[in-house]
């Protein structure tokens, strides 16, 4: 790895992303891995590591602390769930949603490799408070659902604009609520699948994650990925 020329340069060089972890390099040699840190939140948190230096902090200790970071519920936390005779990976992004945040979450999903021939599944809900642009912005999400994402399941009302724009091969269903969708989800999701759950908090997609975890508890404890 090249030696950065400035703090600003270093702040870009310090972050290395993979699909499931954020890798942090400090002192240009030592590496730390933060399994629970969502790809894009890592960029926001260490965009200016010069602030650590400016406060007479230790960059190495800061990176070690970041390595122990665990994403908050609804903000990128990953769960590895016992699912039938295998494992289901759930990425919980259910706390909020905007067009930019949706695109970021879908990019992470598309880059995540399922295990054992599994699929990449997006469970998406309404993006609230978009005003007159709501229909257009929901419809435009289809541009982020190309190669890499196998099926899209939708919950809410405004998200119906996306359902109408989806190719038939990707369309997985449209429901008004998480509870209404769950019977189909439980039948549809297979071991090895990677599932991103994302929508505005008011839509209640956190309930989908809760119910998937509850289903998994019949086999094993639902726990964040380590």
Distance CA 46, CA 102 (A): 21
| Torsion 131-135-136-140 (CA) sign | positive
Confidence of residue 146 (pLDDT cuts 50, 70, 90): confident
The greatest distance separating any two alpha carbons of the chain, rounded to the nearest whole angstrom, comes to: 56
Distance CA 109, CA 193 (A): 11
Listed by start position, the domains of the chain span 7-67, 77-224
With 0.85 as the threshold, say if the pTM is over it.
no
Confidence of residue 147 (pLDDT cuts 50, 70, 90): confident
pLDDT, residue 141, reads 97
Share of the chain above pLDDT 90, in %: 56
Degrees, nearest 5: CA angle 82-88-91: 120
Residue (of 34, 194, 171) closest to 109 by Cα position = 194
Say which residue the tokens 């609520």 belong to: 177
- SS3 (DSSP) at 84: coil
pLDDT, residue 23, reads 47
Q: What is the pLDDT of residues 164-197, one digit of tens each?
A: 999 999 999 999 999 999 999 999 999 999 999 9
Residue (of 50, 78, 60, 63) closest to 24 by Cα position = 63
Q: What is the pLDDT of residues 190-215, one digit of tens each?
A: 999 999 999 999 999 999 999 999 99
What are the structure tokens assigned to 189, written together?
């999701």
Q: What is the pLDDT of residues 78-103, one digit of tens each?
A: 999 999 889 999 999 998 899 999 99
Out of 3.40.50.200, 3.80.30.20, 3.90.190.20, 3.90.1150.10, select the CATH number for domain 77-224.
3.90.190.20
Residue 24 · residue 46 · CB < 8 Å: yes
């Amino acid at each position: 790895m090249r030696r950065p020329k400035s703090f600003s340069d270093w702040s870009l060089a310090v972050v290395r992303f993979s699909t499931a972890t954020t890798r942090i390099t400090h002192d240009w040699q030592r590496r730390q891995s933060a399994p629970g840190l969502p790809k894009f939140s890592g960029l926001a948190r260490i965009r200016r590591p010069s602030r650590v230096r400016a406060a007479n902090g230790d960059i190495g200790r800061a990176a070690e602390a970041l390595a122990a970071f665990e994403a908050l519920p609804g903000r990128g936390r990953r769960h590895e769930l016992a699912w039938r005779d295998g494992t289901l990976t759930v990425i919980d992004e259910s706390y909020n949603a905007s067009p930019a945040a949706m695109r970021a979450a879908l990019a992470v999903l598309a880059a995540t490799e399922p295990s054992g021939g599994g699929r990449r599944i997006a469970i998406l809900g309404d993006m609230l408070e978009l005003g007159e642009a709501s229909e257009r912005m929901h419809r435009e999400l289809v541009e982020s659902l190309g190669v890499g994402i196998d099926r899209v399941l939708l919950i809410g009302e405004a998200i119906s604009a996306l359902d109408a724009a989806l190719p038939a091969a990707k369309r997985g269903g449209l429901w008004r609520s998480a509870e209404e969708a769950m019977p189909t989800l439980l039948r549809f999701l297979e071991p090895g699948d990677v599932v991103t759950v994302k929508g505005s908090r008011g839509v209640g997609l956190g309930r989908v994650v809760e119910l998937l975890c509850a289903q998994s508890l019949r086999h094993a404890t639902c726990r964040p990925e380590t």
